[in-house]
């Protein structure tokens, strides 16, 4: 009977050891995918407001009145059937527009820290012209031409 108890004990020991090894491997994997590592955002980003754009005639239009785009310095994420765009008002009639999808792993860029767009997934940072300020992204965001008339921003695709 004592042999059976030893066998059960060994079996329980082996099962516990396997569980511990699995948990350690999982913890290593999860910590490598983000968290507080060197590629996570170093400065908290404010969530950008989201506006709905209207797609028509190879362009996306969004109304600036009463939105974050109403004032110089404002920025927003514009969603449309044609894609996601980061739009910032740079002057009374000037805007910059870049892709709203990070070039690192395709995450939607939803935040900004001052004049810098911040990807929430791995912390890539881009200036308002879409140039990489801090990786892990290496490629810049695509820029789009915009026009502004009658309080409507038009993004040319």
Residue 93, judged by CB atoms within 10 A of its CB (0-12, 13-18, 19+), counts as exposed
- What is the per-residue pLDDT for 48? 97
Q: Is 133 helix (H, G, I), strand (E, B) or coil?
A: strand
- What is the per-residue pLDDT for 40? 45
Question: Which residues, in sequence order, are CB contacts of 31 under 8 Å at separation 6+?
Answer: 37
Q: Is the pTM of this model over 0.85?
A: no
Is domain 46-156 classified as CATH 2.60.120.10?
A: no
Contact 106, 124 (CB under 8 A): no
Which backbone phi and psi does 28 adopt, to 5 degrees? Answer: -65, -45
Q: DSSP letters of 35-98?
A: TTSTTS-SS--EEPPEEEPEEETTEEEEE-TTSGGGSTT-EEEEEETTEEEEEEE-SSS-EEEE
- What is the per-residue pLDDT for 37? 35
Residue 86 burial (CB count, 10 A):
25
Where in the chain are the domains? 1-33, 46-156
- What is the per-residue pLDDT for 13? 52
Residue 98, judged by CB atoms within 10 A of its CB (0-12, 13-18, 19+), counts as buried
- What is the per-residue pLDDT for 58? 95
**How do residues 37-75 score in pLDDT, each as one tens digit?**
334 445 578 999 999 999 999 999 999 999 999 999 999
- What is the per-residue pLDDT for 41? 46
Per-residue model confidence as pLDDT tens for the chain (157 residues): 444 444 555 555 555 554 555 544 444 333 333 433 334 445 578 999 999 999 999 999 999 999 999 999 999 999 999 999 999 999 999 999 999 999 999 999 999 999 999 999 999 999 999 999 999 999 999 999 999 999 999 999 9
Question: What token pair was written down for 4?
Answer: 């059976």
Question: Which residues, in sequence order, are CB contacts of 64 under 8 Å at separation 6+?
Answer: 70, 89, 148, 151, 152, 153
């Amino acid at each position: 009977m004592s042999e059976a108890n030893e066998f059960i004990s060994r079996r329980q020991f082996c099962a516990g050891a396997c569980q511990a090894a699995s948990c350690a491997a999982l913890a290593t994997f999860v910590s490598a995918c983000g968290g507080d590592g060197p590629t996570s955002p170093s400065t908290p980003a404010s969530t950008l407001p989201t506006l709905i754009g209207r797609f028509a005639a190879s362009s996306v239009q969004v109304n600036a009145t009463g939105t974050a785009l109403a004032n110089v310095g404002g920025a927003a994420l514009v969603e449309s059937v044609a894609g996601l765009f980061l739009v910032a008002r740079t002057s009374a009639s000037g805007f910059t527009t870049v892709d709203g999808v990070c070039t690192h792993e395709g995450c939607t860029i939803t935040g900004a820290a001052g004049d810098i767009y911040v990807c929430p997934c791995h912390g890539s940072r881009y200036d308002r012209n879409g140039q990489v300020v801090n990786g892990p992204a290496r490629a810049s965001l695509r820029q789009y031409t915009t026009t502004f008339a009658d309080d409507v921003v038009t993004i040319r695709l």
